[in-house]
Amino acid sequence: MLEFPFLYGGEKIYAIIEIGGKQYKVAPKQTIEVERLDVPEGDIVELDKVLFIGGDKDTLVGNPIIKGAKVVATSLGEAKGEKVIVFRYKSKVRYRSKRGHRQTYTKILVNEIIKGEGE
């Protein structure tokens, strides 16, 4: 895991983005697993829901997002997470139900963080 903030082009920079209803703190050259995106492996993804950009010189805070800001990333393919067992049981009525689930994730490599207009 990389330490934050990450040195990028002589400047320490990181961003907080929203993907699939979850927020992630990312820096350039970092690999993260996010909810499944419908993007083939090797394609470039532009994530435009940037909530915050921080660094050495200045910080930009969105209301709720920063206009014009985006994070450019490359898709590294899909992977499945660990299996989660859902077991329901009611005593004295012979009710038992067992199900398993494996969530599909997309691995992405953050290439760069593009600052927007700021507010």
> pLDDT value at position 9?
58
Q: Considering only CA atoms, which of 17, 61, 52 is closest in space to residue 35?
A: 17
Q: Considering only CA atoms, which of 113, 108, 112, 92 is closest in space to residue 38?
A: 108
Domain limits, the chain: 6-114
Please state whether the peptide bond connecting residue 5 to the residue before it is cis, i.e. omega within 30 degrees of 0.
Answer: yes
- Residue 57, helix vs strand vs coil: coil
**Cβ–Cβ under 8 Å, residues 113 and 53:** yes
**Cβ–Cβ under 8 Å, residues 14 and 26:** yes
> pLDDT value at position 3?
55
> pLDDT value at position 117?
72
- pLDDT band of residue 10 (cuts 50, 70, 90) is low
pLDDT tens digits, 23-71 = 999 999 999 999 999 999 999 999 999 999 998 778 889 999 999 999 9
**Cβ–Cβ under 8 Å, residues 50 and 66:** yes
The chain-wide mean pLDDT, for the chain, equals 89
